[in-house]
Structure 1
Amino acid sequence: MTTDTEETLFEFPCQFPLKVMGRRCDEFEAAVITIVRRHVDNLGEGAVRSRDSGKGKFTSLTVTFEAHSKDQLDALYQELHAHELVLMLL
């Protein structure tokens, strides 16, 4: 039998910085935040930082939150990965 600790290097709960990249458009940040809020109960003030690429074609968001389990992170990554506006996750 494996536990969360054996399957991941993280010790939960932990502060987790999630980086999401996509093409720069008005809907991108709202879509990412909506998805994250489905998986994170309390997204704190200032949890989201945004940065545009040098030429302004892409946007990266860093969302820092308290992660509680590997299952939570897996579900969040799967939903973000499936979204059409998301190009890359780190």
Structure 2
Amino acid sequence: MTAEHATLLTFPCRFAIKAMGPAKRGLEAVVVEIVSRHAAGVDETALSVRESRGGNWIAVTLTFEAHSKPQLDAIYRELSAHELVAWAL
């Protein structure tokens, strides 16, 4: 296994990806749209949103079926590059 594909995950697996950004700006739709481009059959009911104590930020978590580390890397790259995403975990 090359260093590029090294991971502790066994694919396919259920994977929860989280993105954080400003509240009330449509981040939920952005996360679903980006993950759906890279993973078939994304279930929007597997989406959860948590608001910060002050209400200025939200954390959006979407659980989906991941098939490879390159797939996850592509999702993280696209999420991190989006203007509404402050952090992706």
SS in 2 for 1:77: helix
Structure-2 residue corresponding to 1:2: 2
How many residue pairs get aligned? The number is: 89
Structure-1 residue corresponding to 2:11: 12
Q: Percent identity at matched positions? A: 49
Q: Deviations over 1:19-66 (max 9, x none)?
A: 110011232211121111101101125210011111100000110011
Runs ≥4 residues deviating over 6 A: none
Displacement after TM superposition at 1:77 (Å): 0.3
Structure-2 residue corresponding to 1:47: 46
Unaligned runs of 5+ in 2: none
Report if aligned partners of 2:32, 2:42 keep a CA contact under 8 Å in 1. no
Structure-2 residue corresponding to 1:85: 84
Q: 1:32 to 1:45 in 2, by over 3 A?
A: closer
Unaligned runs of 5+ in 1: none
RMSD of aligned Cα (Å) = 1.7
Paired AA for residue 29 in structure 2: A
Larger CA deviation: 71-80 vs 42-51: 42-51
